[in-house]
Chains A and B, each alone.
Chain A
Amino acid sequence: MSPSNISPTSQASKLVLETQGITKRFPGVLANDRVDLTLRRGEILALLGENGAGKSTLMNVVYGLYQADSGEVFVKGSPVRLQNPRDAISLGVGMVHQHFQLVPVMTVAENVILGAEVTRTGGLINHRAAAKQVADLSRRYGLEVDPTATVEDLPVGIQQRVEIIKALYRHADVLILDEPTAVLTPHESQELFQIMRGLTSQGVSIIFITHKLKEVLAVADRIMVMRAGRMVGETMPDESTEKSLASMMVGRDVLLQVEKMPANPEKTVLSVDGLVCLDDRKHRVLNGVSFEVRSGEILGIAGVQGNGQTELVEVLTGLRFAAGGTFQFDGKSFRKSNPRRINEAGAGHIPENRQRYGMVLSYTVAENMILNRYYDAPFTRTMMLDQTAIETYASALVEEFDVRTPSIHTPSGSLSGGNQQKLVVAREVGRKLRLLVAAQPTRGLDVGSIEFIHRRIVDERDAGVAVLLVSSELDEILFLADRIAVMYKGKIIATVAADQATRDELGLLMAGITT
């Protein structure tokens, strides 16, 4: 090895992974700009940054999915060339992607061994030996999972363990976790953190990618922050606060919690009474839900995902028929109605899946801005779309809601997640509303966009709109809601005033424990 190949900063064997000057350019974007990163043996390094800061790009370079334009990766002190994930795996680098790379119809054991199978002669798979190896790994690292279970039957938290076992099975001692808590409940996240500590105590080093500040402070040994493709800082958890981390991430001071005045609720706008509904598989997912939302207040529906919140929102916005019960909006019943009628009555809807239900990805920003009103004046005159009116309106909203887009004629699909969400919010609240139904309004968004959207939701409330906020982020509910209803197994099991609610109490309620 020539001297120039030895990493200058690698002190003995303490550094298990290091990048030097990684630069990666995509058409029009400098995703990574001379990024240096170090990972020490047995530590949890939090890699913090907003969406689009370049965290995932950097990790994909380290995992061999992308080739850097320049710069070097060192694994255990030696420079390496990573052409594909197989190279990274053979060097002991494992990655758990945000979207799980698991084959749903296969068993846990099959998923684990895929690509590195335990075989007998003739390529026959030794299923028993595979199951045993998986069981051994899960015992050793405290990752409880049944090797013979089919992956699609498992909850997300367990599927994630399968991903970790997959990496460990390949003898990974560097583990990259890409936004692992995005899909987990608070309780599952706590379990994951315990698993992570267990892994580091056995010599595994972990890069934990996230933009959730609380988690970083709770679990990281060291923190590195990226912004706009660059590494902008390194710090320790005991030297940091959520606020200091947020400003490092965003590059300016951020309000983590938007300021709001006490609510001023007036008359009831939405009243839901004994709502029952079935999901697509004909299972009863709403089991007699009743609540009221009044003008000028935010009712937050907390709960672990999959307890009927999705279907509740679908019923209230006309996307699904209720099997029983009623709901009244401004005194009129809309139980068997359609989205357009409810929309025209003054209800805005920020859907939980913005790309699927919030917009037509191949339409331009301007076209998406008028999706809920394209058929009316001033956008349509005598059956023809009035382009001038549409453009004027869309430009004004883009301006007001700070949607960062090259032009209003850009297809919405090419915007970033945060800007897509701002587009949806702009369309929905860009007109006079009576009711706003916001489902997971900031899922997957960065701190800056979250702040903006939270501000708009509170503004709507202050303008006298009744707001129903559905979120599985407890913080979001605590920051925004005036009253909090907890949903569990298709029922509202408790409603509390937000200023009297505690995280612990809500956490227990979300797990179905009522005292």
Chain B
Amino acid sequence: MDSSLVLIAVLRSTLRQSTPITLGALSGLFCERVGVINIAIEGMMLTAAYMGYMTNVLTGNLILSVIVAVLSGGLMALLHAWLSIHFKVVQIISGTVINILAVGLTGYFYQPGAVTKGKLQSVTVPVLSDIPIIGDVFFNNGPLTYLAVALVFVVNVVLFRTRWGLRMRAVGEHPSAADTLGINVISTRYINVVIGGMLAGLAGAYLTLEAVGSFERLMTNGRGFISLAAMIFGKWTPLGGWAAALLFGAANAVQTQIQFSGNVTIPHQFIGMLPYVLTVIVLAGFVGRARPPAAIGRPYEPE
């Protein structure tokens, strides 16, 4: 195969593989920046993937399917918020509950052989897509891929330039300070956790409505957890999280490409491990240096 074609294939694959991780990292960001640990990105993503898929099977309306997926992610997040903010359940436990619940529910209701009515198609941006390589890689993608990239920049502005973002960060760093200034800590946490869930829902929608077009049991395959790693590696910033997601996406793309080319003697299981090994290395090497929001994991107790 022509090497520039290989390059384009790998880069395109990188962007696509990174999309759910980017969205997942943003999801984690919304929760953790207000002080709520979200290890349930995986479960929210999986639920949304299933709900989006089933809506597509039943109605064939892709836009409605995306909306349902996003809302179902938000609903799972509402459960997480309710458990961890209202009942002050340890947030790791609450997140685990949601992950298990998602696996159970989607596995139970999964209907093998259900037929979908299509998936979101690539949208080619006129003119820009004619640029060699770049055009192919960046301007010929599905709508959710564009949306994910756009959201990275939107969230960056929201978080660091707006009133909302300032209040979010204050709630995650020093909730009682925010409280004494009249910021409602509880509602700030609820709203942002639910937004986080909706972003995870969007990642789920991407999987079943844009990338694959069908649902399988456990199809998120650890992407939620890798998202969390990307968020941490990106130091709880949208741009950092995106960069990390691209790195993980690249690992996945390379891994796929190596397996695809077929002329390597390493067992494919080992090559398939690449993104996960990278996660372990990244987390082991960098987590200690990043500084999470100060109030993370602690329920708010007004004085």
Contacts and interface: CB of A to CB of B under 8 A. Distances in A.
Interface stretch (B85-93, B123-131, B156-164): B156-164
B169 A65 contact: no
Interface in A106-130: 106, 110-111, 113-117, 119, 122-125
A114 B183 contact: yes
Q: Which of B174, B178, B179 is most buried by chain A, counting CB atoms within 10 A of its CB?
A: B174
B177 interface: yes
Nearest to A97: B180
A85 B182 contact: yes
Contacts of A114: 166-167, 170, 177-178, 181, 183
Contacts of A119: 162-163
A513 to B, nearest CB: 36
A103 B173 contact: yes
Contact of B163 (A89, A97, A101, A125): A125
**Main SS at interface, chain B:** helix
A166 B170 CA distance: 15
Given A101-B177, A115-B167, A84 B161 contact: no
B166 A65 contact: no
A447 B174 CA distance: 32
Interface residues of B, number: 23
Contact of B162 (A89, A123, A166): A123
A174 B176 CA distance: 21
B80 to A, nearest CB: 24
B301 interface: no
A86 B179 CA distance: 9
B170 A103 contact: yes
Given A65-B303, A103-B169, A104-B174, A85 B181 contact: yes
B163 A86 contact: no
B166 A104 contact: no
B180 to A, nearest CB: 5
B294 interface: yes
A65 B181 CA distance: 11
Contacts of A85: 179-182
Given A104-B174, A115-B178, A122 B166 contact: no
Contacts of A166: 181
A433 interface: no
B177 A102 contact: yes
A122 B173 contact: no
A125 B166 contact: yes
Q: Give the 6 A-B CB pairs with smallest separation, nearest first.
A: A115-B181, A86-B182, A101-B177, A117-B163, A123-B162, A103-B174
Interface of A: 60, 65, 84-86, 89, 95, 97, 100-106, 110-111, 113-117, 119, 122-125, 166
